[in-house]
Structures are given as structure tokens and as C-alpha cells.
Amino acid sequence: MAGSRQYPDEPSGPFPAPPTTIEDREGRSIEIQAPSAFTDETLGDVVEMYTEFDPTDRAQGIPPTGEERIRNWLETIGDDSINVVARHDGDVVAHAMLVPDTDDPSAIGHDADIEWELAIFVLQAYQQAGIGTTLLENLLGHAAELGIRRVWLTVERWNNPAIALYERVGFESTGTESFEQEMAIRLGTG
């Protein structure tokens, strides 16, 4: 069911979809993948990335800290979420996800009006190298292939690099609440 959130009238895209390999600004070969599900190995790799994540870069309480809390968080959202990871030399260095904004899990995949909340995290050593942009574009491309049309996020108002990234790919500001800026994008059909 559609919420009260505002979305741009015009869709953005098309966006590329994984799998893809890029060379980042540091000359590293980065593989972008969309695991169909979190296998034990993939889940372990993503958990490992988050255990290395600098807690000062957490936003709005995520990712949680501590291996057990991270694993529980990913397992809780993992079944219904759409995930894309970036790997360097086999290690996960970035993770982006879309989580359905619905109380009715049976509607997922069947209701084009479902809104999806976006979250993206890039390990500090891999930031400012173009990985976040590529990961975000591939997540949106993958989402469009799956029929997802409406994506939203919140970002801390003072996080100018993140806001600039979201605007570059087509997100528009839709509202501000004290410390957070809400943004939304409408995806095209391809």
C-alpha cells in the first residue's frame, strides 16, 4: 500500500545491474554482485565487513555494533531485502540494501505500490573511490529489474557527500525532520 511519501513525477534510470566489475579510483578491481539470498558464506562475509566498519560512521543506529548484533540484524532483514555487495580480492568492502516498507510480507513481490527503504555502507578505506556510486546504481538497476518502482531513504542533513551522491543518481529531497533529510526516487521500467 502506498504511503504518504512524495516521489518525483519523472522516473530515473535506466541503471546498470549486477554482476559487473569496475576499476575504482585507486586502481582496485571491484566486483559488484547481487546475491539472490544470503548464503552462510555471503552472510559471513557481510558480517565481517560490518565488524570492521568504523562505529563513528554509523548512521541512525545502523549498522549495529558487535558481531552477534550485526548477524541478527542482517538475518532479520535478509529474507525480504534486496542486497548488492562490492568485493575486492574476495572480501566484501561495501553493502547496499533495499528493505520493504510494509507490514504485510505477503505483498512483497506482488504489490508495485510497496515503498523500499535504502541503506548503503562502504568501508572507510574504500570511500571516495567511486564504489558507493557504482554500488548504488547497480542496486537501483537490480531493483528496477525486479519491478521495484519507489525507493526512499533518510540521511543526516550534514552528510553532504552522501546527499550529493543520492542527488547524482536521481534522488530528490522530499522532507526534513530535525536531523534527517528524506529523499526519494522513482525508478523507470528499464
From residue 112, how far is each of 60, 115, 173 by CA, in Å?
A: 27, 8, 22
| Residues 122-161: b if buried by 16+ CB within 10 A, e if exposed | bbeebbebebbebbbbbbbbbbbbeebbbbbbbbeeeeee
From residue 20, how far is each of 7, 42, 140 by CA, in Å?
A: 29, 17, 14
Q: How far apart are alpha carbons 102 and 89 in whole angstroms?
A: 36
From residue 114, how far is each of 74, 96, 182 by CA, in Å?
A: 21, 18, 17
pLDDT value, residue 112: 63
Residue 152 contacts residue 190 (beta carbons within 8 Å): no
Domains in the chain, CATH or no CATH each: 20-144 (3.40.630.30)
Residue 115 contacts residue 150 (beta carbons within 8 Å): yes
In tens digits, the chain (190 residues) has pLDDT values of 445 788 999 999 999 999 999 999 999 999 999 997 788 889 999 999 999 998 777 777 788 989 999 999 998 887 789 999 999 999 999 999 999 987 665 556 545 679 999 999 999 999 999 999 999 999 999 999 999 999 999 998 888 988 999 999 999 999 767 788 999 999 986 5
**Residue pointed to by grid coordinates 579510483:** 25
